[in-house]
Structure 1
Amino acid sequence: MNIILVIFDSLRRDCVGVYGSPPWGRIYTPSFDAFAKESVIFTKAFPESLPTLPARRAIYTGQRVYPFHNADFRLKGDFVGAPGWGPIPEDQPTLAEMLTAAGFRSGLISDVYHMFKPSKNFFRGFSQWTFLRGQETDPARSGPRLTQKEIDYWLPKEFQNKWTIEFVQQCIMNMHGRTREEDYFAPRVLNESMKWLDQNQDADKIFLTVESFDPHEPWLVPQHYRKMYRKEEEQEHVISRYGEMKEAEKKYLPRLQANVSGEVTMCDRWFGYFMEKLKKLNMLDNTMVILTS
């Protein structure tokens, strides 16, 4: 029996068609929905801990992260101070360690840059891991820096402050050279995962973890995905917001929602390609695929 764990970061439950619709309208997720029809669906699942890294500590170890003992420590190379945001404790064995020891050939394909920061150890136990660089503020590039004119192009004045400008600087530098859908992160992660399947067909049994940071913000998607939900011709922006929007910012909300919807649909499409790959390799009958957020 093979095991494949696929995690889409920040994928809302109501953004997957089988569970319903978000307040701004239904999202097209035919691949997720088709997968759900052939799967056991967990309708009352709750995360043990949030956000990105605390959730993965729980998923990778099966152990509680809360209560957050010693959670306020600061490690060099990590700017996030959320409770539970740290490496996997040394005394907690990981799923990858246990399955590798049990004879599985294990692999991790991920663009979740938080997992690979200095002091982090989320690749512990895998036979092989691939880190796809450049998500969000991953320091994948150091130049050329954006001019103020370019910052104004990507970030509306209403959203500009020291933190958002730094975010946009790194985000846009990381996007340099992106020209087609396959250059976006979810396609890159799923493509690399399909290559891994090809390269490891000789294994008796595999454990593959596929980690996509999308559909996490900043919700940059090819235009044709956004236009599935909003037809207007609009300038692309790097903007996102937690919590309430200021009055001057609310005019951007419909486009943000269309970007979220479009990014979910892009993730869905490439998950569908991944499932087709499993079918072509005749792996579906002896593989457990786990899809979660």
Structure 2
Amino acid sequence: MNVLFISIDSLNRHFLRSYRPNSPIDIETPNLDEFADRAAVFDNHYAGSLPCMPARREWLTGTQEFLWRPWGPIEPFDTVLPEVVRSQNVLTQLVTDHFHYFQHGSNGYHESFNGVEFIRGQEYDRWRTSPRDPDGELLSQLRRDGSGASDDLNLDAGTASDEPDDLRFMNRAAYARNAAGFDVESDFFAPKVFSRAANWLETNEEWSDWFCYVDSFDVHEPFHVPEPYASMYTDEDPTDPELPIWPYYGRTDEGQSELSDRELAFIESQYAAELTMVDEWFGTVLRTLDDRNLWEKTAVILTSDHGFYLGENGYVGKPFEAPVRNELARTPLMIWHPGSSRMGDRIDELTAAVDLFATMADVLGLEVDGAPHSRSLLPLLTDEVDDHREWALYGYWGSSVNVTDGTYTYHRPCDESTSTHCYSTTMMDSVGWFTPTRPKHDAESGRFLPYTDCPVWKFEGPSHGRHEEPLLYDVESDPWQRRNLAGREPERSEEMRSLLVDALTELDAPANQFDRLGLERPRP
């Protein structure tokens, strides 16, 4: 059996017809629609550890990491899926433009594949240094208004500017340089990723079994697309330098992210345009599966790491101050398996991102030890079971912790005055993602993790609150999570609080997590 695993970064499930037939924008995604009709569509699938690389550690190692550490590397004690697959003489390949694999603090994710196809130039990828003065109109759209305001995601030492001459980290001028000379559709990232994935499928037919991971950074921002896509969902001039294609994260009505209704509508239109371009080129993979008669010997899994706020509840992006509502946390999942009787079905059972590791190993017929938190979905697909999870946990390290039972979501705030403990074999920067590790003189070494006897460093980092009070939502009757029921339904709130305690206890979460969340840890 082959496995084709496809992740589309920042894919909002409510923009897909298969999940929301009456989307506010009628977005053309015929190939994703076709795949949804063929596959099993999971209606209650949740992210786990956010954002980018934490999600990939869950997928590739079966470890729910955000309770123990933030964005970081594969750990030496991790069981890494491509490494296990290779040990069974199965070919492995990664095709991606996701440049975070190659940044500080992200080592170990791509090294175990037999082959890696890396398309350069996305987002802040440190690739091209010329032209020194990139296209002014594009640069203005990347910076929203050309003001040179610093990026709120920059966590490198001090601040950074978006001025072209500024050489500090995370300068948006880097993207303008990388994209210089993009003249036709095939120059852009999604066309390159999916066409090269299709080519790999065509040129590796002689291998009897393989695992191919296609990781598309689009539809992640910046929402930079060529025609005809750029004009598909707007009457604006897509090249107008006054209109942003790379919004700053935060509230849409205040601060750096303040956006007019016109600007927000344009951002949404360009997100939709990028999604349609991704869909068009995803279609090349589907056609290759057709042409090469691969469907009957290939399982195809399609998902996303998280969503992206586009004005919902007053937020844009993935801002630190926003609660982790379903726009970010409830993600699409579609699985085609040639041996399953449930193809074309909707699956309502609660599932989680971390389960994809065990699922892919199971499909490949591998017995894997060392995936502490992953549960295979294959029994659901083969009608061996009719339930899967009682809870799913999700969130960012050092922030609020969230739990769902599939009907309700409960969001527990953290005490910002209480530090968060970080556990890793590296002295990772617990605040600044993908920045160099620096010595921590107050770190303690020991066997602190419940799922390995390997010693790790333990050190403190900050807690970051997203909301002051608990939040409770009935996502069946209130899918946009606008009515907080925590004060209105105290019994249900207590049930969900208890479910959170049960989940943390089952995972043997650090005692510090109970403290910072104001929860009492059950006695042994």
Normalised to the residue count of structure 2, the TM-score between the two structures is 0.51
- 2:274 matches 1:263: yes
One-letter code of the match for 1:43?
A: D
* More contact order relative to length (CA 8 Å, sep ≥ 6): 1
Q: Do the aligned partners of 2:15 and 2:27 also contact (CA within 8 Å) in 1?
A: yes
Whole-angstrom CA distance in 2 between matches of 1:244 and 1:125: 40
Deviation, structure 1 residue 111: 0.6
Structure 1 residue runs of 4 or more that deviate by more than 6 Å after TM superposition:
none
In structure 2, the CA distance between the partners of 1:13 and 1:273, relative to structure 1 (3 Å rule), is same
- The count of residues paired between Structure 1 and Structure 2 equals 279
Q: Do the aligned partners of 2:124 and 2:175 also contact (CA within 8 Å) in 1?
A: yes
Aligned partner of 2:58 in structure 1 is 58
Structure 2 unaligned segments of length 5 or more: list them: 152-160, 164-170, 305-524
In structure 2, the CA distance between the partners of 1:284 and 1:196, relative to structure 1 (3 Å rule), is same
Whole-angstrom CA distance in 2 between matches of 1:35 and 1:148: 38
Deviation, structure 1 residue 191: 1.1
For residues 222-277 of structure 1, the C-alpha deviation after alignment (integer angstroms, 9 at most, x for no partner) is 13113221133242554313232247631311111100001111111111111101
Once the two structures are superposed, the pairs formed by residues 22-61 of structure 1 within 5 Å of their partners are 24-61=24-61
In structure 2, the CA distance between the partners of 1:246 and 1:165, relative to structure 1 (3 Å rule), is farther
One-letter code of the match for 2:19?
A: Y
Residue 245 of structure 1: which of 252, 264, 267 is its match? Answer: 252
Aligned partner of 2:501 in structure 1 is none
Once the two structures are superposed, the pairs formed by residues 1-293 of structure 1 within 5 Å of their partners are 1-20=1-20, 24-68=24-68, 71=69, 84-119=70-105, 120-146=107-133, 151-152=139-140, 155-157=143-145, 160-163=148-151, 165=162, 167-236=171-240, 237-246=244-253, 249-250=259-260, 251-293=262-304
Whole-angstrom CA distance in 1 between matches of 2:49 and 2:17: 24
Higher-Rg structure is 2
Deviation, structure 1 residue 22: 8.6
Structure 1 unaligned segments of length 5 or more: list them: 72-83
In structure 2, the CA distance between the partners of 1:85 and 1:148, relative to structure 1 (3 Å rule), is same
In structure 2, the CA distance between the partners of 1:234 and 1:63, relative to structure 1 (3 Å rule), is closer
In structure 2, the CA distance between the partners of 1:152 and 1:37, relative to structure 1 (3 Å rule), is closer
Where is the strand percentage greater, Structure 1 or Structure 2? 2
For residues 97-131 of structure 1, the C-alpha deviation after alignment (integer angstroms, 9 at most, x for no partner) is 11111221110011100011144221132111111
Deviation, structure 1 residue 66: 2.5
Q: Which moved more, 1:231-240 or 1:95-104?
A: 231-240
Whole-angstrom CA distance in 2 between matches of 1:131 and 1:171: 16
For residues 72-113 of structure 1, the C-alpha deviation after alignment (integer angstroms, 9 at most, x for no partner) is xxxxxxxxxxxx200111101111111111221110011100
Where is the helix percentage greater, Structure 1 or Structure 2? 1
For residues 38-74 of structure 1, the C-alpha deviation after alignment (integer angstroms, 9 at most, x for no partner) is 1111111111111000000101111211212xx3xxx
* % identical equivalent positions: 32
In structure 2, the CA distance between the partners of 1:44 and 1:279, relative to structure 1 (3 Å rule), is same
In structure 2, the CA distance between the partners of 1:89 and 1:44, relative to structure 1 (3 Å rule), is same
Deviation, structure 1 residue 29: 1.3
Q: Which moved more, 1:179-188 or 1:119-128?
A: 119-128
One-letter code of the match for 1:94?
A: V
Taking only aligned residues, the RMSD between alpha carbons, in angstroms, comes to 2.1
Whole-angstrom CA distance in 1 between matches of 2:289 and 2:6: 13
Q: Do the aligned partners of 1:181 and 1:222 also contact (CA within 8 Å) in 2?
A: yes
Deviation, structure 1 residue 157: 3.0
Deviation, structure 1 residue 202: 0.9
Whole-angstrom CA distance in 2 between matches of 1:16 and 1:208: 24
One-letter code of the match for 1:281?
A: R
One-letter code of the match for 1:243?
A: G
